[in-house]
Structure 1
């Protein structure tokens, strides 16, 4: 049970250096010089020691490890220094946007984009796609680059952006902070113009992927959406609701091609080669070639690169007659990849891939040995594998999403066997889609069945009670997880040499888990029980966006759905909302409609404002497909909701307005009087004021998250008691602005902000108004 950790220190130090330089590129030059000097000094000392004491002394002591670590760090620093001027060209830095012409090479699969990403009307399909910025021309200045860039563009319906192809795009280039996965955002003003096609091998891979999609197009439901992701890592067809279910149930890693897929490919080639009588080195060579083609097919995501590099290292060692396994190939693959691309150090996918593999190598056997005391050996091993991977990855998961997903273990135990079947059968279908499409379409039902099973498992556990329990402090939770893992390792590995230490460490680990789980579960129950049962209004804390619930006589209304499905789903679960009688979508910006997948299939009636292009129409089509009745909202319309009457105050019927200025403005009158202003600006607010006699209200949903573009005259007329400001913590817009807060203060309206108070609940009537906030007493 001893682990070979000789290369662990070089890999860890190389990772630390790469992580630092990715966020502070100006340090690359001095760090490179310092690293090489330290490596040279350690090498000279090592050679001097060898000369004076012979080869025996060369193999002992810590100097060899120092030399290896220094060399690894020096290679990473040199790469960061050599590539830094292309990754973030000084001419394009400075934090300001620039207009010009960009030449980009597509590196990812284009995905539909929300209309909020675009500032103007656009026909066709709006997409985002990962690319590399090759050059940028602004005025008479041409800048060469090699920078990862996220492109927002509009393409003609049915048009494609093949991976590896190059396009010219006119638009605005916006730099991001150092250390981000992308260096720039590029907002295209016109359609991309093709410059050159992909090289032959990428064109081949695109043909195979397209054939796979056509071969499986006839398959139904979630199984079809998930199949391409499980088989070839293409998750572009996975709808947001299913993606969220996979995330909450801890199954997202199944759609990221990794070591298991590479192992299947290599094993298949080696077995077939052995059956054909090929010599070992020839089989290894063919395996490396096929593995390279597989990486091209599934696209070189960080997890794929890590798995493939590690597999190549193992194969090369096998060809040399020195079989290698365990941690050394993993550590060496980390050093190699970071030396080629230091910015991988900040990739969450790369980190999770490395940690999951390390967890499987280090923890699976100890966990299985513990489990065998209570379970059959096969079941203990089946449980140990997902637990080992989860323990290793959990600190990073807490940093990415501070929540506990208690059903991850059973979900993985149920889904993992099916995932292996999809991987094998999916590759078979992939090949048949090229050589025999009709046969491939028939065989596609075989991997569809386990794919549908995985999707059903994900949705089942994601909809279970307390499927995602928020953790107040992600960094603290990550630290506690690291300590617990170390205690467990001490308890297992010290059992022979230190028989008294092992039980103590195990007891501390168990107690910590029990106390931590009890604290989190108790906190979740307390949070749920603390919400007033007689609530009338609930402003969900969903970040920079709007999502406000109304409750009356067991009926629910929802005004807007926020930017993302997951926060809204959490709020609906917390407020015990399962069905929505009335949904109002004020307009179609991402921060108001991005969370729509959380409510599709759960809505009876929808009131919407004027659409602004095909993307908006597709959203309404999805609502209709989910069983909702969709109606255009216009001034003069009214209806009943529980004890309330609702009236549409804006926009006028057949209005030419669109976007913020056409935000549906609705007044609810009943036990409380409430008005929702969407994202109206000052001129539109004055138009609403002139067109309607509103009078005083109890609650106003402040327009546009508290921007400065507000009408003091309107707020003075309605003189709301409470002003709800739905706004994201630390947002880059400066919302809510001092001007808005000043207006509310002067008219006597008390502001409540979701960025400071979290969930905000209003209960009672106009005469007995009561406020409850998630984060303690309201100010």
Structure 2
């Protein structure tokens, strides 16, 4: 057996760890690079001295390459830092002052109505705004107008996340846009430097380069061809062929993820491998010299990267695919690891901030697994099955084993059907990719032939979509797993133990050690499965089946469900369709009888795709332009009846009655946060229905106007406005006297939500904060005033302080004095942990 060559793999791993640490500590890379360089020189002198004395010092020799790798990557970080944050940008980042920029889009953005809440872009030129211009309290004062041109544009390259970019027409990758923005710095280790919020409409400032523009035209033409076919296969085909996932709905996307087939829905190393492998195969048939075959393959790979858009993830996938194919095509197998190590080092030097990217980690691990594990696994499996079938199983199994410890950091579950789904999809993926890509390339010249080829590619695409839906829908498709670093380390240890027990890589120890490894792995696995799956089962059993209000954990956004008498109402959809779809599936919600869209910001309507076709009626406030109307058009096309609601309107939802308190029925309120649709929910019958006031995203001024226009009556639950920003009216919360405050907020949000001020207002009014970032899914049900939680690892908590009905016997505030919230009581269930006591909410944050 040939020994695995780790000479470059270990230095690459060391440099990777160093990059993960150093990109998060500004200014540390330079000193580390200097220290590593000194250590390298010292080691070289030590080796030279030893050799001069006729001795060898293997420890020093082995340490030189890792030190060199660390020094090179640290130096790269030190050189990149001033380029990512040039001095001319410092003032805008520190003070939030407006700045005029030209940005180049790093991804294609759909026209209005698409998902454009956050777009990767690069600031390629900027002009600092002169001091004193537009520096007032109103950030929108300038209206997007460019500042006086007292300074010329300065060329820079600063990666940012462009917020709220809503072009009137499809904006291609590489196109340039100019306007005034406000920058909000992100954490040092983030691959993007800042959030860029436009202070008005951005104006087109340049088309993409000709090659990229031509590729974009090809992609757009192919999307039109694929859309002529029915079913999920048509939605999946562009993703399989050219990495365009814009047609994939939330349901199909969730199914692909649960079945571990999501790598097929966008460009991955597998897509690149198919392209290069096809060219190498054609070259072999034509008896081309090796140099010609490799050259043609690289040209084809470059063209494929341009076609599917040269984003960082695509370039990374192309590099990894080239590594695998070049290593395996030359019969080097395990010796491909030095090439992989060199590729990793090269990518880290070019973009050190990619070290913290999960996609990068998955690409490296999958590539390494194919090089090191697939062969030994196939050899072990070949003992009990034909060699071809063994290799067919070994490839996805190796990738799954290597990647799963990282994947549990993203979703704490094991896709038990993942290997099976990949085996079933494996024969279809190359056909859909190759034939679909051919259809894309010839679409402008021979549209009839492109349609025919797309029809052929649609068949395997439909097979893959069906495989995803069937395997993801099986009762045991996934198994819960401990979350976080502990869960990843446990799974990694179990994976190593299982491989040792199976003698993979081929026998590294005697039978006794293998037997012990098998026993230990099995015992640990039984304990973990019992603890996690058992706790999950108990948590589900303890979940109140009679819940009436649910707050979904959809990240930085709102999604609140009200259920009564068999009818379901949903207020807002959050930003991501897949997050909302997962929550609704968890709740067993299919039909949405009533959808309430408080306003049209992306974090409130971005997930609407998940419910299109499932909505009976929709209540909406003021709209503002084509983007908002496109949301309503999609709902109407799906069968919904849309009703524009203003203050004073009311209706019935099961045993609940709802009443609109805001916005007023006049044209003086501009669409947006200040015109959020505010509903009051109260019992309209004999039900045990906690009363609720849902404030949308009203700011302090709008809340005060609301308070002046209508009496704020006491309620049990308040949906805290604007995710807990500090732009709140303490008087509104004091009058509402809610015992529970629902706060839809993302764990990694960069806005500081919920703020100490908002939490204090809630606590001062006697309310406990039910934060989705900490508690996950929250359910409120009729009961005796009990709060408890269920989560992985048996995390739970209880207590009656936060759940006791503090308003028993109080004034109902009119309308429904018989509201059960003032008599029957209620209880709360949380997915993760217990609810803080109202008196401790502010301090708990």
Q: Please confirm whether the aligned pair reaches a TM-score higher than 0.5, indicating the same fold.
A: yes
Which residue is equivalent to 1:42? 43
Q: How does 1:340-739 map to 2 (within 5 A)?
A: 340-371=350-381, 377-465=387-475, 471=481, 473-491=483-501, 492=503, 493=505, 495=507, 497-657=509-669, 658-670=671-683, 671=687, 672=689, 673-692=691-710, 695-729=713-747, 731-739=749-757
Per-residue CA distance 1:445-478 (angstroms, 9 max, x = gap): 1112222222333344445557666655321111
Separation of aligned partners in 2, 1:562 and 1:197? 33
Separation of aligned partners in 2, 1:484 and 1:345? 25
Aligned pair partner of 1:278 in 288, 307, 311: 288
Aligned pair partner of 1:294 in 304, 318, 325: 304
Per-residue CA distance 1:495-552 (angstroms, 9 max, x = gap): 4642201111122222322332232222222222212223232233434432222222
Which residue is equivalent to 2:786? none
What is the DSSP-based 3-state SS (H/G/I as helix, E as strand, rest coil) of the residue aligned with 1:397?
helix
Q: Are the structure 2 counterparts of residues 572 and 129 from structure 1 closer, same or farther at C-alpha, using a change threshold of 3 Å? A: closer
Separation of aligned partners in 1, 2:700 and 2:262? 44
Separation of aligned partners in 1, 2:281 and 2:103? 41
Separation of aligned partners in 2, 1:729 and 1:347? 18
Q: Are the structure 2 counterparts of residues 625 and 503 from structure 1 closer, same or farther at C-alpha, using a change threshold of 3 Å? A: farther
Q: Are the structure 2 counterparts of residues 519 and 105 from structure 1 closer, same or farther at C-alpha, using a change threshold of 3 Å? A: same
Which residue is equivalent to 2:80? 83
Worse overlay, 597-606 or 496-505: 597-606
Which residue is equivalent to 2:212? 202
What is the DSSP-based 3-state SS (H/G/I as helix, E as strand, rest coil) of the residue aligned with 2:443?
helix
Q: Are the structure 2 counterparts of residues 107 and 668 from structure 1 closer, same or farther at C-alpha, using a change threshold of 3 Å? A: closer
Q: How does 1:195-344 map to 2 (within 5 A)?
A: 195-309=205-319, 326-344=336-354
Separation of aligned partners in 2, 1:349 and 1:323? 23
Q: How does 1:168-183 map to 2 (within 5 A)?
A: 168-183=178-193
CA contact (8 A) 1:314 1:324 kept: no
Q: Are the structure 2 counterparts of residues 743 and 453 from structure 1 closer, same or farther at C-alpha, using a change threshold of 3 Å? A: same
Separation of aligned partners in 2, 1:739 and 1:25? 30
Q: Are the structure 2 counterparts of residues 469 and 682 from structure 1 closer, same or farther at C-alpha, using a change threshold of 3 Å? A: farther
What is the DSSP-based 3-state SS (H/G/I as helix, E as strand, rest coil) of the residue aligned with 1:326?
helix
Find out whether 1:134 has 2:124 as its counterpart: yes
Separation of aligned partners in 2, 1:284 and 1:734? 51
Which residue is equivalent to 1:29? 30
CA contact (8 A) 1:302 1:350 kept: no
Separation of aligned partners in 2, 1:747 and 1:314? 61
- What residue ranges of structure 2 are gaps of 5+ in the alignment? 131-149, 784-819, 838-845
Worse overlay, 295-304 or 246-255: 295-304
Separation of aligned partners in 2, 1:321 and 1:414? 27
Per-residue CA distance 1:467-498 (angstroms, 9 max, x = gap): 66665532111111111122123322574642
Which residue is equivalent to 1:18? 19
Per-residue CA distance 1:622-672 (angstroms, 9 max, x = gap): 222333222222333333222223233333345442222222222333233
What is the DSSP-based 3-state SS (H/G/I as helix, E as strand, rest coil) of the residue aligned with 2:652?
strand
Measure how far apart 1:763 and its partner are: 1.3
Which residue is equivalent to 1:768? 824
CA contact (8 A) 2:324 2:371 kept: no
Measure how far apart 1:685 and its partner are: 3.5
Q: How does 1:136-155 map to 2 (within 5 A)?
A: 136-138=126-128, 139=130, 143-152=154-163, 154=165
CA contact (8 A) 1:167 1:192 kept: yes
CA contact (8 A) 2:84 2:193 kept: yes
Worse overlay, 316-325 or 488-497: 316-325
Separation of aligned partners in 2, 1:771 and 1:338? 51
Separation of aligned partners in 2, 1:688 and 1:401? 41
Which residue is equivalent to 2:106? 107
CA contact (8 A) 2:374 2:395 kept: yes
What is the DSSP-based 3-state SS (H/G/I as helix, E as strand, rest coil) of the residue aligned with 2:696?
coil
What is the DSSP-based 3-state SS (H/G/I as helix, E as strand, rest coil) of the residue aligned with 1:551?
strand
Which residue is equivalent to 1:122? none
Measure how far apart 1:748 and its partner are: 4.8
Separation of aligned partners in 2, 1:321 and 1:697? 71
Q: Are the structure 2 counterparts of residues 305 and 67 from structure 1 closer, same or farther at C-alpha, using a change threshold of 3 Å? A: farther
Measure how far apart 1:695 and its partner are: 4.2
Find out whether 1:73 has 2:83 as its counterpart: no
CA contact (8 A) 1:95 1:176 kept: no
Q: Are the structure 2 counterparts of residues 291 and 506 from structure 1 closer, same or farther at C-alpha, using a change threshold of 3 Å? A: same
Measure how far apart 1:126 and its partner are: 5.6
Separation of aligned partners in 1, 2:328 and 2:506? 33
Q: Are the structure 2 counterparts of residues 332 and 470 from structure 1 closer, same or farther at C-alpha, using a change threshold of 3 Å? A: same
Which residue is equivalent to 1:120? none
Q: Are the structure 2 counterparts of residues 264 and 669 from structure 1 closer, same or farther at C-alpha, using a change threshold of 3 Å? A: closer
Separation of aligned partners in 2, 1:467 and 1:656? 53
Separation of aligned partners in 2, 1:209 and 1:227? 12
Q: Are the structure 2 counterparts of residues 532 and 128 from structure 1 closer, same or farther at C-alpha, using a change threshold of 3 Å? A: closer
What is the DSSP-based 3-state SS (H/G/I as helix, E as strand, rest coil) of the residue aligned with 1:23?
coil
Separation of aligned partners in 2, 1:535 and 1:257? 42
Measure how far apart 1:620 and its partner are: 1.7
Separation of aligned partners in 2, 1:319 and 1:255? 26
What is the DSSP-based 3-state SS (H/G/I as helix, E as strand, rest coil) of the residue aligned with 2:28?
helix
Q: Are the structure 2 counterparts of residues 259 and 598 from structure 1 closer, same or farther at C-alpha, using a change threshold of 3 Å? A: closer
- What residue ranges of structure 1 are gaps of 5+ in the alignment? 116-124
Find out whether 1:157 has 2:168 as its counterpart: yes
Q: Are the structure 2 counterparts of residues 525 and 324 from structure 1 closer, same or farther at C-alpha, using a change threshold of 3 Å? A: closer
Separation of aligned partners in 1, 2:34 and 2:360? 27
CA contact (8 A) 1:230 1:255 kept: yes
Q: Are the structure 2 counterparts of residues 321 and 4 from structure 1 closer, same or farther at C-alpha, using a change threshold of 3 Å? A: closer
Separation of aligned partners in 2, 1:227 and 1:334? 31
Separation of aligned partners in 1, 2:273 and 2:666? 61
Worse overlay, 235-244 or 507-516: 235-244
Q: Are the structure 2 counterparts of residues 183 and 111 from structure 1 closer, same or farther at C-alpha, using a change threshold of 3 Å? A: farther
Separation of aligned partners in 1, 2:60 and 2:296? 38
Number of residue pairs matched by the alignment: 765
Per-residue CA distance 1:274-294 (angstroms, 9 max, x = gap): 444433323333333332222
Separation of aligned partners in 1, 2:767 and 2:287? 84
Separation of aligned partners in 2, 1:393 and 1:316? 22
Q: State the TM-score, normalizing by the size of structure 1.
A: 0.88
